[in-house]
Amino acid sequence: MQVLDTAIHADPKGATVEFRGEGGERIAVTMIVSDPLLGDAALIDRAREMMLQCAAFSYPAERDEPDGKVGPYTFEYRDGGSVRRVEGVELPDLEAARHEAVRSAIDLLDDAAEPRQDGWAVRVYGGGGDVVLAVDFEEARQERATTAM
């Protein structure tokens, strides 16, 4: 789809960025936004990044492995301007990998030298080399706020 127009619908709880294409095609990305001062350009960038993460996502059910196991996993961490990879991580299932990715993303937030990080924080690759999940900094901030209560 070629994007011809973009519309942003925001309220106190979040924002929806709607990408409009020819022939009436539309893709809407709804986000919970913890920073009410985020501008339109930042919201559009975040929505684009979320779509890219979804496009790269590989579902375990699509695998040929009968037990649905997608490991061993490779974790990729983004910290400031650098990327670090840890390969061969054995975990029981995708839910455990997600839990570890969220925990790691929160750690990256806590250790960050720069106050405002955006975009993906942790990507997890399955044994076949495909991205099976990604956690962004916004999700980590939300999770940290939820667990702190």
Higher pLDDT among residues 61 and 119, named by residue: 119
Based on the domain organization, do 73 and 41 belong to the same domain? Answer: no
Based on the domain organization, do 74 and 118 belong to the same domain? Answer: yes
Based on the domain organization, do 50 and 10 belong to the same domain? Answer: yes
Residue 101's pLDDT band, with cuts at 50, 70 and 90, is: very high
pLDDT digits (tens, 9 = 90+) for 23-68: 888 999 888 876 667 788 888 888 887 777 666 555 444 444 445 5
As beta bridge partners, residue 10 has 15
Based on the domain organization, do 19 and 67 belong to the same domain? Answer: no
Lowest mean pLDDT segment, chosen from 7-11, 14-18, 30-34, 89-93: 30-34
Three-state SS for the chain is CCEEEEEEEEECCEEEEEEEEHHHCEEEEEEECCCCCCCHHHHHHHHHHHHHHHHHCCCHHHCCCCCCCCCCEEEEEEECCEEEEEEEECCCCHHHHHHHHHHHHHHHHHHCCCCCCCCEEEEEECCCCCEEEEEEHHHHHHHHHHHHC
- The count of domains in the chain is 2
Domain that holds residue 18: 3-56
Based on the domain organization, do 79 and 144 belong to the same domain? Answer: yes
Based on the domain organization, do 51 and 77 belong to the same domain? Answer: no
Q: State the chain's mean pLDDT as an integer.
A: 81
pLDDT value of residue 93 = 87
Based on the domain organization, do 71 and 19 belong to the same domain? Answer: no
pLDDT value of residue 6 = 93
Euclidean distance between the first and the last CA atom of the chain, given in angstroms as a whole number: 42
For residue 58, give the amino acid letter.
S
Q: What angle do CA 31, 10, 18 make, to 5 degrees?
A: 65
